[in-house]
């Protein structure tokens, strides 16, 4: 998105300057560190999961302060986007403990006190609807490792954001040894330009904004008496190449400083053409209005009724320079509705107006003949057409060539009207074409087109409609992050259900989308889509999920953060249960041997509750709902799901007897069905 704002720093001295935002030409994200540190930026984004606080094992590197700076990312000269550069300041936290007397003999096995530090620093960025997390590895040499001292900073370029957006930035390390740093910033509005006047405190000064005219005196626009320092806000559309700034101290005989910073600014030139206007004052008289002088050419052109491009009459006529805000006319030109004035700049047509449209009526189907004088008594005649000027007579396959002899006869017998004449250059003639047009053929062609359209419509109505196959019902699985073992069990259930067929949605299969949009936005969107399509939301209860639900219901936790998956989906579904809207939309599930049914909170008992795999037939009947019958016998369907589920459940139950199954057993991710 192009950027339409910048900062102007103007001093009451002899050398005022324009300070523009820094431009980054590199399209990819980059990172760099202050002197003495080493930085490495991981490719791509990472999951925004800060984890819980841990105790520091010794000296660790932690972020202490966040700063931001606005820059422009410009992969191409005219394609720039606003970008937020993040600077994270780092310090060493914690210290080494003195070894016990009995441990001194093992000093060779211990890490030396002056070892270097390596930290993984995460930068989390949110600007609706974007969520990103970048990972920087920062290494601090041993000589800089001093607990309680700052070691420098790391700079990340950069997070793109829109004008006027509110951005939120977090920073933490992995593992996390302290509370997350956070920063909220409101980006500027793209409709504003800020003039920062660098004037000393309590200095009274005058400010004049004016348009510098090439001809005549300057044209004042705005004048103010101010006291420094000041920031003046302008609309970016008010910038023109001739807009100048003049400041001076409010003192006797003070010197005025003038500066015109926008003369070469492409945006100011575009604004000038946007506000310029070409108007016809009266028949044949026109004027170009603009606040500044324009580098433009003007010429007559011929506009045919076919709405094609207006064709310049050069030669034999000549182009002229434009003087703005002054009436003009083409002398020795006879009025014709097809004659128009065309203003162009850098070979691009900017304006076009037909000079006699109001007085002589609509465009005529006349043929314009160009008479060129090549010698004392030698002349040539051509007819102006979209393909060029066709010499008469001609063997070309154009309209003028077919009527070449008749047009020449009209020209010689003065049946054409002379519009312009120059003794040395040539003349322009308008020849009426009404007598050569067989208007009756127009009606014949219209009837033919109507018949073709009627036939086409008839064929469309006769075509059989394709009946769309009924869509499978959607099932959204919501669970707690109890560890790899439980996630494998959830993945096994999701894969088995997707073979019935059911359209299954689960966060395990949408990691990248979950990271990009955030847990709260993803769960809200999936729940809304599932219920709109008459689907069902399946709540999977585990011991950890039940404990967190109880805390949530007793208001012992804060509002869901950007990384809390369980709190995110609880905030989505709990209002439906509390307001009596759960029936027919939700179903609860727990796994045999992992949870007692009485442990499920009473608030969720409004929905059917099933234990799997022992109650699979009833669970599958609820999933089917009012949809068409699933293929196969119900017993066969339940047996297939039970077989796929039992192996994962046995492994999970076996591990839960001695340790937390999410930490002690990791069979690897369960793949999504293909």
User: In sequence order, what DSSP letters do the residues of 419-453 get, joined into one string?
Assistant: EEEETTTEEEEEEE-GGG--THHHHHHHHHHHHHH
Q: How confident is the model at residue 654 (pLDDT cuts 50, 70, 90)?
A: low
How far apart CA 338 and CA 366 sit, in angstroms, is 9
How far apart CA 436 and CA 407 sit, in angstroms, is 10
How far apart CA 225 and CA 229 sit, in angstroms, is 12
**Could you tell me the CA-to-CA distances from 464 to 174, 452, 458, 599 in Å, in that order?**
61, 21, 12, 56
Q: 326 Cβ partners below 8 Å, 6+ apart?
A: 287
pLDDT at residue number 667: 39
Mean per-residue pLDDT, 401-410: 88
Q: How confident is the model at residue 97 (pLDDT cuts 50, 70, 90)?
A: low
pLDDT at residue number 377: 73
Residue 539: its H or E element: strand 536-540
Say whether pLDDT at 11 is over 70: no
DSSP SS3 for 531: helix
Mean per-residue pLDDT, 282-294: 89
**What digits encode the pLDDT tens for the residues 589-632?**
998 888 888 888 888 888 899 988 888 888 888 887 755 455 55
Nearest C-alpha neighbor of 167 from the set 154, 180, 158, 175: 158
pLDDT at residue number 78: 54
pLDDT at residue number 471: 67
How far apart CA 543 and CA 462 sit, in angstroms, is 61
Identify the DSSP state of 283: T
Q: What angle do CA 390, 392, 397 make, to 5 degrees?
A: 55
| Contact by Cβ (8 Å): 430, 416 | yes
Retrieve residue 582's tokens.
């759960």
**What digits encode the pLDDT tens for the residues 471-525?**
678 889 888 877 778 888 888 888 888 888 788 898 888 888 888 888 888 888 8
pLDDT at residue number 159: 92
* Strand locations in 77-116 (E): 79-93
Residue 271: its H or E element: helix 266-275
Mean per-residue pLDDT, 545-566: 68
Say whether pLDDT at 2 is over 50: no
pLDDT at residue number 662: 38
Retrieve residue 366's tokens.
């006349």
Of 127-141, 161-175, 293-307, 460-474, the one with minimum mean pLDDT is 460-474
Nearest C-alpha neighbor of 399 from the set 445, 430, 433: 433
pLDDT at residue number 217: 74
Q: How confident is the model at residue 118 (pLDDT cuts 50, 70, 90)?
A: very high
Say whether pLDDT at 584 is over 70: yes
| Contact by Cβ (8 Å): 265, 78 | no
Identify the DSSP state of 316: T
Of 133-137, 321-325, 634-638, the one with minimum mean pLDDT is 634-638
Q: How confident is the model at residue 465 (pLDDT cuts 50, 70, 90)?
A: very low
Better-scored residue on pLDDT, 648 or 656: 648
Retrieve residue 310's tokens.
């207006």
pLDDT at residue number 230: 77
Q: 521 Cβ partners below 8 Å, 6+ apart?
A: 129, 131
Q: How confident is the model at residue 100 (pLDDT cuts 50, 70, 90)?
A: low
Q: How confident is the model at residue 442 (pLDDT cuts 50, 70, 90)?
A: low
Retrieve residue 209's tokens.
């904004």
Q: How confident is the model at residue 416 (pLDDT cuts 50, 70, 90)?
A: very high
> Average model confidence (pLDDT) for the chain?
81
Q: How confident is the model at residue 17 (pLDDT cuts 50, 70, 90)?
A: very low
How far apart CA 13 and CA 23 sit, in angstroms, is 27
pLDDT at residue number 560: 54
Name the region of 414 (left: φ>0; alpha: ψ -120 to 50; beta: rest).
Answer: left
**What digits encode the pLDDT tens for the residues 248-257?**
889 888 888 8
Say whether pLDDT at 565 is over 90: no
pLDDT at residue number 5: 35
Say whether pLDDT at 186 is over 80: yes
* Strand locations in 149-272 (E): 150-160, 166-173, 181-186, 192-198, 204-211, 219-227, 230-235, 243-249, 257-259
**What digits encode the pLDDT tens for the residues 201-216?**
788 889 999 988 766 6
Q: How confident is the model at residue 461 (pLDDT cuts 50, 70, 90)?
A: confident
Nearest C-alpha neighbor of 6 from the set 188, 160, 162, 161: 188
Among 2-6, 97-101, 497-501, 503-507, top mean pLDDT goes to: 503-507
pLDDT at residue number 86: 96
**What digits encode the pLDDT tens for the residues 37-72?**
999 999 989 988 888 899 888 899 999 999 998 888
């Amino acid at each position: 998105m192009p950027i339409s704002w910048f900062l102007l720093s103007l001093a009451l001295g002899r050398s005022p300057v324009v300070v523009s935002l820094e431009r980054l030409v590199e399209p990819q994200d980059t990172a760099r560190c202050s002197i003495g540190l080493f930085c490495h930026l991981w490719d791509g984004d990472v999951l925004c999961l800060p984890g819980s606080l841990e105790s520091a094992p010794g000296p660790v590197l932690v972020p202490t302060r966040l700063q931001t700076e606005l820059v422009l990312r410009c992969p191409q000269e005219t394609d720039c986007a606003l970008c937020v550069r993040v600077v994270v300041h780092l310090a060493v936290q914690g210290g080494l403990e003195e070894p016990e007397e009995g441990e001194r003999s093992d000093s060779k096995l211990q890490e030396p006190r002056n070892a270097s530090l390596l930290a993984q620093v995460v930068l989390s960025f949110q600007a609706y609807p974007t969520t990103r997390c970048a990972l920087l590895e920062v290494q601090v040499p041993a000589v800089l490792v001093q607990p309680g001292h700052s070691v420098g900073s790391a700079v990340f370029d950069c997070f793109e954001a829109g004008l006027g957006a509110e951005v939120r930035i977090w920073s933490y390390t992995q593992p996390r040894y302290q509370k997350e740093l956070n920063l909220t910033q409101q980006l500027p509005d793209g409709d504003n330009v800020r003039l920062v006047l660098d004037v000393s405190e309590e200095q009274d000064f005058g400010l004049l904004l004016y348009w510098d005219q090439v001809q005549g005196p300057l044209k004042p626009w705005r004048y103010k008496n101010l006291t420094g320092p000041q920031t003046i806000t302008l609309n970016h559309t008010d910038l023109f190449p001739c807009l100048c700034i003049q400041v001076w101290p409010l003192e006797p005989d003070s010197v005025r400083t003038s500066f015109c910073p926008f003369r070469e600014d492409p945006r100011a030139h575009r604004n000038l053409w946007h506000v310029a206007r070409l108007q016809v004052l009266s028949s044949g008289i026109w004027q170009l209005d603009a606040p500044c002088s324009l580098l433009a050419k003007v010429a007559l052109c011929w506009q045919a009724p076919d709405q094609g491009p207006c064709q310049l009459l050069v030669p034999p006529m000549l182009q002229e320079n434009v003087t703005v805000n002054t009436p003009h006319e083409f002398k020795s030109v006879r009025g014709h509705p097809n004659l128009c004035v065309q203003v162009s700049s850098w070979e691009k047509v900017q304006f076009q107006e037909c000079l006699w449209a109001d007085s002589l009526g609509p465009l005529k189907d006349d043929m314009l003949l160009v008479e060129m004088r090549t010698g004392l008594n030698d002349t040539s005649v051509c007819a102006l057409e979209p393909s060029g000027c066709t010499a008469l007579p001609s063997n070309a396959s154009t309209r003028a060539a077919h009527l070449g002899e008749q047009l020449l006869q009209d020209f010689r017998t003065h049946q054409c009207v002379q519009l312009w004449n120059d003794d040395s250059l040539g003349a322009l003639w308008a020849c009426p074409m009404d007598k050569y047009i067989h208007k009756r053929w127009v009606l014949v062609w219209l009837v033919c087109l109507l018949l073709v359209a009627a036939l086409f419509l008839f064929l469309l109505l006769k075509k059989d409609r394709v009946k769309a196959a009924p869509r499978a019902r959607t099932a959204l699985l919501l669970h707690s992050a109890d560890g790899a073992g439980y996630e494998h069990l959830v993945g096994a259930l999701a894969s088995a259900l997707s073979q019935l067929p059911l359209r299954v949605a689960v966060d395990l299969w949408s990691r990248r989308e979950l990271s990009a949009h955030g847990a709260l936005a993803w769960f809200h969107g999936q729940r809304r889509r599932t219920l709109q399509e008459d689907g069902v939301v399946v709540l999977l209860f585990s011991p950890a999920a039940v404990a967190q639900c109880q805390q949530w219901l007793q208001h012992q936790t804060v509002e869901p953060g950007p990384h809390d998956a369980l709190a995110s989906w609880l905030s989505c579904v709990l209002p439906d249960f509390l307001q009596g809207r759960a029936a027919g939309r939700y179903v609860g599930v727990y796994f045999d041997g992992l949870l007692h049914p009485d442990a499920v909170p009473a608030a969720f008992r409004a929905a059917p509750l099933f234990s799997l795999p022992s109650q699979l037939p009833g669970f599958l009947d609820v999933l089917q709902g009012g949809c068409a019958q699933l293929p196969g016998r119900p017993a066969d369907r339940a047996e297939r799901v039970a077989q796929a589920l039992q192996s994962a459940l046995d492994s999970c139950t076996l591990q839960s007897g001695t340790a937390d199954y999410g930490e002690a057993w990791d069979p690897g991710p369960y793949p999504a069905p293909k």
